[in-house]
Amino acid sequence: MRCLIPTPFLLIFVLLSNLQLCFSQDYIIGGGAGDGAGDSPPEAGAPPEQNECNGIFLTYTFFSREKEFPHVKNASAQAWAFRAQATLLNAGTTELEGWKMYIGFQHREILVSASGAVLVDGSDFPADVGKGVILAGYTQTDLKTAIETAGDYNQMQVTIDITGTQFGVKKNGIPMPKTIRLENEGFKCRQPRRRRNKSYMHVCCKKDPKFKEKPPKKTKFLPRQNGDLSLTYDVLQAYGNNYLAQVTIDNNHPLGRLDHWNLTWEWMRGEFISTMRGAYTHKIDSSDCIFGPQGQYYQDFDFSQVMNCEKHPIIADLPSDRANDSKVGKLPFCCKNGTILPSLMDQSKARSIFQLQVYKLPPDFNRTALYPPQKWKINGILNPNYKCGAPIRVEPTEFPDSSGLQAITTAIASWQVVCNITTPKPKQSKCCVSFSAYYNDSAIPCNTCACGCDEPQTCNPNSSPLLLPPEALLVPFDNRTIKAKAWAKIKHLPIPKKLPCPDNCGVSLNWHINSDYTSGWTARITLFNWEEYPFEDWFAAVQLDKAAKGYENVYSFNGTKLPPEMIKNTILFQGLEGLNYLMGETNGTDPKFDPRVPGKQQSVISFTKKNMRNLINIKEGDGFPSKVYFNGEECALPPHIPLGNGAAHSLHVGSEPLMLLFTVVAFFILFVDGFH
């Protein structure tokens, strides 16, 4: 039997169905005039606290996480991939230049990506940020106000999409950072607040009324920053598809130094180096350009003459014999074989300069479309570790006119990168120190694994080093074992089954207390070079917290007491003219039997006790340095000092506790005798 539905009922049914579909649609697709789909986000999405903020409004939102391989039972060792988002909004009345945001990660996070941002310390992704991280903007470094942009969120706000890995979070936990804050000077942030199931936090950072701001210079750029090492990236000439840049490296630290420096950065927009003057890249290769987007665009370009097409080029200084080369040299402050000295030693060697011709890719074919490379890093052979920040736009650099006229020329654009010296982590130094004294038979050698350990399976990397007779410091570690064991037997010291590992340092220094008398005292410093190459224009420095004031003279070196405004209580030593080379290690007289001989220099240093006789006690440790530097690198110090009572491996103990102990023991003995 056929079922017939009357036409009117069918029409009513269709209309009601369409009507139902229309009512079920609660979102907007597309957008026309007046639909709120412009640059500004919908008002309903803005938290109420944002509307009350008169400053910089920061947020952090945790989105999701997913268990990563390998899957393990130990929750603290399980890795999770997470997604989050951070935002900065300028809700104040003044433009924020060069924004920097701190995120206090606390779950052993490894940051894999952060869109629109770079790490301030210049590190690459992925980066270990488990103790927090500071992000800076790229390419949007400044946040304008709503007043000057008519509320354009594209210029007022930056959004950072974050992906990474974290550890040790329970299955249902919400891994949020400890805090978020603005790192720019002159702002004060309260403790962030959390809401939305605790997966969201925000804070409003306002201008600190107590912050004394320097009188603003009539410029739209940030002021130049102070740092141990300052690198300037100046654009000298600009064309449509290329520009000429000059890089200047200035050493501002009294003990900072670089030997055979290597500089690297990351090109963010497909740039490549066509030619260079004053420096060169370790890899001279154009294959990355030929097979990359550069070759697709510059099809008629002769890439055989291109210097480097790597995204991370490694740049080095030219040797001194290229200084007058008309093709690659003839630049002031270039071609010193990578040596940058403190200005105290040689003002002419405290700066290095090189130039490079840079080609760009679309859409940067406007001569004003200039972007510096990011993630700068610089290091030397045996020098301090430098941590570099992100480039900041500064006032264009001024140069004297090349024609000789009394005029100045300015760069088209300038950026500054500031690098600061970091303290070496334990077992990651590049030099070490041993202690000895005339009143103690034993020398305390360098720390075990002071400069790292290569093969800890054959030795104990956590054991204290064995005490040595002083003459054993003159031979390589491999030849000290017999001497150390024999000395331990003589001194009735225990010998572990698994001997401690060597210090593995290329350079070591011995500080020896030579004498101590009523009106003064003397020390002897000895430098050992265990490397095969020499150190030219070497220098060493010691910091003596109490005894530096009494420094009188050093007899085989040049010595200078540094001004206290530079570094307090520090004495700088360097080789005399003609003796400024610390030679490398050489073979013994008979290589079959005799150990290798290190390069060595030493000198006696005299001190006075005038006006400080009751303030220092040499035998109690005041004669030993609290810091020692070689070529700018802070060396690892032994945790103990030689004592005058024959105990050579004890921590320093003041005389007052000892006197108290002797008094108690004497009283106890008298009391027992009286009782009997």
User: What is the model's pLDDT at position 335?
Assistant: 96
User: What is the model's pLDDT at position 168?
Assistant: 84
Residues 19-43 have a mean pLDDT of: 37
The per-residue pLDDT for range 635-647, each reduced to its tens digit, is: 999 999 998 765 5
Q: Which residues pair with 163 in a beta bridge?
A: 83, 113
The per-residue pLDDT for range 575-625, each reduced to its tens digit, is: 998 889 999 989 887 777 788 899 999 999 999 999 887 789 998 999 999
User: What is the model's pLDDT at position 385?
Assistant: 93
How far apart CA 624 and CA 545 sit, in angstroms, is 9
Predicted confidence (pLDDT) at residue 2 exceeds the cutoff of 50: no
Q: Which residues pair with 180 in a beta bridge?
A: 103
Rg (CA), the chain: 33
Residues 77-104 have a mean pLDDT of: 95
Find out whether 366 and 238 touch, Cβ atoms under 8 Å.
no
Lowest mean pLDDT among 114-123, 257-266, 655-664: 655-664
The per-residue pLDDT for range 492-526, each reduced to its tens digit, is: 999 999 999 999 999 999 999 999 999 999 999 99
How far apart CA 466 and CA 449 sit, in angstroms, is 13
The per-residue pLDDT for range 239-259, each reduced to its tens digit, is: 999 999 999 999 999 999 999
Q: Is 69 exposed, middle or buried (0-12, 13-18, 19+ CB in 10 A)?
A: exposed
Confidence of residue 210 (pLDDT cuts 50, 70, 90): confident
Lowest mean pLDDT among 5-9, 39-43, 222-226, 630-634: 39-43
The per-residue DSSP string of 202-267 comes to: EEEEEE-TT--PPPPPSSSSBPPPP-SEEEEEEEEEE-SSEEEEEEEEEE-STT--BSS-EEEEE-
Confidence of residue 219 (pLDDT cuts 50, 70, 90): low
Q: What is the mean pLDDT of the chain?
A: 87
User: What is the model's pLDDT at position 214?
Assistant: 66
C-alpha 99 chain-centroid distance: 20
Closest CA to 476 of 602, 596, 599, 637: 596
DSSP letter assigned to residue 300: T
> Would the pTM of this model clear 0.85, i.e. be above it?
no
CB-based contacts of 81, cutoff 8 Å, min separation 6: 65, 66, 67, 68, 163, 164, 165
